[in-house]
Chain A
Amino acid sequence: MLVIENLRICYGAIAAVRGISLKVESGRIVTLIGANGAGKSTTLRGICGLVKAVTGKIMFEENDITNLPPHKIVAAGVVMAPEGRMIFANLSTRENLEMGAYLRKDKKEINRDIDYVFTIFPKLKERINQPGGKLSGGEQQMLAIGRAILARPKLMLLDEPSLGIAPILVKTIFRKIVDINKELGTTILLVEQNAHLALSIADYAYVLETGELCLEGKAADIAGNQQVRKAYLGES
């Protein structure tokens, strides 16, 4: 579904992503794990056009989406729930969700999708008319994921959904990510620092180190890999 070849992204003189190639197959949950500053978020931002690729190619369903403007990439079916829960602080929960469906015109279906988001995240329904900025960290993360659902993506990019959220909520959110993948058939590319959690729900994993891929394989294999266990899963 998504094929990245030799992607390289720089911030000024610093190369954050140094020629990585990866593949995301339709219907799967694929995770990209790695330490702080490994280039995980930059890769996601590169896929959705928020930062420009210096070299390399990003293909989505046989179409070249490299360096297209972000809204065209969204229209193609790739939507990101950004890191740090970038929700619209002055818009209500409902309006935030509606913004996710900005490119859609089917009012009825949009309302149905909003109801779906409320069934998987009932907390959001209680806050329907409150401004996004007043929501708790966990609720904002749910809202960011909900907003991404509203775009009806074929591929959803999740950037650090566990960041700064109470551990108990993190578990709920990850369960919901699996639900979204199963119930809507949405392919998911998940970027996480919490490698343990990410590997527990993913089918396939890539390990990123200082801008380069150092390991890839089935999530279960990666989770069993000695090297990874030492580096990312906190074993000695």
Chain B
Amino acid sequence: MRRHLSKICLLVSLILCAVVSLLQGYIGAYYFQIIIYIGINTILASSLNLINGFAGQFSLGHAGFMAIGAYTSSIITATLHLQPGSPISHLIFTGALLAGGLMASLFGLLVGIPSLRLKGDYLAITTLGFGEIIRVLIQNMDFLGAARGFSGVPKLANFFWVYAIAAILIFFLYNLINSTYGKGFLAVRDDEIAAEATGISATRLKVVAFVTGAFFAGIAGGLYAHFVTYINPSQFGFLRSFEIVVMVVVGGMGSIPGVILAAILLTVLPEALRAIAQYRMVIYAMLLIIIMLVRPQGLFGAGINIKRYFKKSTEPV
């Protein structure tokens, strides 16, 4: 019954996406852009939630996966000179997004492997380094436009694409976390040794979390590239990774609705604060500090406190 309910929810939201998509011309360009960013950030934050919140692997390199997805899909669509609107363009765009996602998950595998040996802050630093390596590599690759950026990406992403993918991801995460297989992630996060002792392969699940999270981050990158039509390495810097982590932490690690709420809030907030110009980021930062002081477990905290990720293990060996 419950499973059917989530399927119905998915169907309804997909139809809603299509309907709103038809009406997107009536929405002002500025607001429309914010709405799209909310969708993309929801995908990014939710996919990171799988790695950080569910599997408990503190990763700071999500922008790196996003960049890989953005560049991979952009190369495909730009070299094919796709014209937005033709039916074939949607098909190829799907393929390009998937290719971007797969490429990102391949790198997710590469990062997932060190995560088997590293914990807490060490893993955070390693993944942070990974994100920066990706950015610097792209900056030095001439065929990707290097620091000039990559322009001429066709504007293929629209409301439907972004929100349909967000809905699918949320559906996927929801069902995953209510399945025995998915609860294995939570078990690994709570106690790795106990998880191993009950027959869960922590090694495997950690890598699966990285690969899956990176896949959706890559798709989000592809959507982003095909919405802004111009990408350059500085868009995928460490600050972007950090923004995504903040969304997960503020929303509550391991909480699906919390992270969505945080993605909406933290996308809208900087825009809403534009009125106060130069004090904008000060207020933004202060709000974050207040939220963390009042609710260290996040807005919708699933009871997991951010502090425990940086606690030293007391386990013997």
Contact = CB atoms under 8 A, between A and B. Distances in A.
Interface in A41-95: 48-51, 69-71, 74-75, 79-82, 86-91, 95
A184 interface: no
Given A82-B193, A87-B191, A90-B186, A100 B198 contact: yes
A99 B197 contact: no
A154 interface: no
B193 A98 contact: no
Nearest to A91: B186
B95 interface: no
B194 A98 contact: no
A102 interface: yes
B196 A71 contact: yes
- The listed residue with most A CB atoms (<10 A of its CB), out of B183, B193, B197, B254, is B197
Contact of B197 (A11, A12, A82, A89): A82
Contacts of B304: 90
A91 B200 contact: no
| Interface range, A side | 20 to 34
Given A98-B180, A101-B180, A131-B303, A87 B197 contact: no
Nearest to A105: B180
A74 B184 contact: no
B201 interface: yes
Contacts of B201: 69-71
Contact of A70 (B186, B196, B254): B196
Interface of B: 180, 183-184, 186-187, 189-191, 193-201, 203, 254, 302-304, 316-317
Give the 9 A-B residue pairs with the shortest CB-CB distance, closest first: A74-B199, A86-B194, A88-B190, A70-B196, A71-B201, A103-B199, A86-B191, A80-B197, A71-B199
Interface of A: 11-12, 48-51, 69-71, 74-75, 79-82, 86-91, 95, 98-103, 131-132, 144, 147-148, 151
